[in-house]
Amino acid sequence: SDPDLVARATAAKAALGDRVFVLGHHYQRDEVIQFADVTGDSFKLAQQAAARPDAEFIVFCGVHFMAESADILTGKDQQVILPDLAAGCSMADMAVLGQVEAAWERFEDLGITGEIVPVTYMNSSADIKGFVGRNKGVVCTSSNAQRALTWSFEQGSKVFFLPDQHLGRNTAVLEMGFDLDDCVLYDPHKPGGGLTDDQLRNARMILWRGHCSVHGRFTLDSVREVRERVPGVNVLVHPECRHEVVRAADQVGSTEYIIKALDAAPAGSAWAVGTELNLVRRLALAHPDKQIMFLDRTVCYCSTMNRIDLPHLVWALEELVAGRVPNVITVDEDTAANARVALDQMLALP
- Beta carbons of 320 and 57 less than 8 angstroms apart: yes
Does 68 bind ligand 13P (CB under 6 A)? Our answer is no
Residue 303 Cβ vs ligand SF4, minimum distance, rounded to whole Å: 8
Residues contacting ligand SF4: total by CB under 6 A: 12
Interacting residue with ligand 13P among 142, 165, 335, 345 (CB under 6 A): 142
Does 254 bind ligand 13P (CB under 6 A)? Our answer is yes
Q: Give the one entry of ligand SF4, ligand 13P, none that residue 142 binds, where binding means its C-beta sits below a cut-off of 5 to 8 angstroms depending on kind.
A: ligand 13P
Q: Give the one entry of ligand 13P, ligand SF4, none that residue 120 binds, where binding means its C-beta sits below a cut-off of 5 to 8 angstroms depending on kind.
A: none
Q: Are strands 270-274 and 291-294 parallel, antiparallel or unpaired?
A: parallel
Pick out residues in 211-230 that bind ligand SF4 (CB under 6 A): 212, 214
Pick out residues in 58-77 that bind ligand SF4 (CB under 6 A): 63
**Cβ-proximal residues to 307 (8 Å cutoff; 6+ apart), any chain:** 84, 86, 87
User: For residues 171 and 255, which CB has a smaller minimum distance to ligand 13P in the complex?
Assistant: 255
Q: Give the one entry of ligand SF4, ligand 13P, none that residue 141 binds, where binding means its C-beta sits below a cut-off of 5 to 8 angstroms depending on kind.
A: ligand 13P
Read off the amino acid at residue 187. Answer: D
**Cβ-proximal residues to 294 (8 Å cutoff; 6+ apart), any chain:** 272, 273, 277, 280, 281, 300
Instruction: Give the x/- contact pattern for ligand SF4 in 88-127, rule: CB under 6 A.
Output: -xxx-------------------------------x----
3-state secondary structure (DSSP) of residue 8: helix
DSSP H helices, the chain, are 3-16, 30-33, 42-49, 64-73, 97-110, 126-134, 145-155, 165-170, 197-202, 220-229, 243-248, 255-264, 277-286, 310-321, 333-347
Does 304 bind ligand SF4 (CB under 6 A)? Our answer is yes
Q: Given the rule CB under 6 A, which of 40-48, 73-81, 129-137, 174-182 is the region that contacts ligand 13P?
A: 40-48
For residue 186, what are the CA distances in angstroms to 45, 95, 110, 150, 200?
30, 11, 15, 21, 9
Q: List residues binding ligand SF4 (CB under 6 A).
A: 63, 89-91, 123, 212, 214, 240, 276, 302, 304-305
Which residues are part of a known binding site for [4Fe-4S] cluster? 89, 212, 302
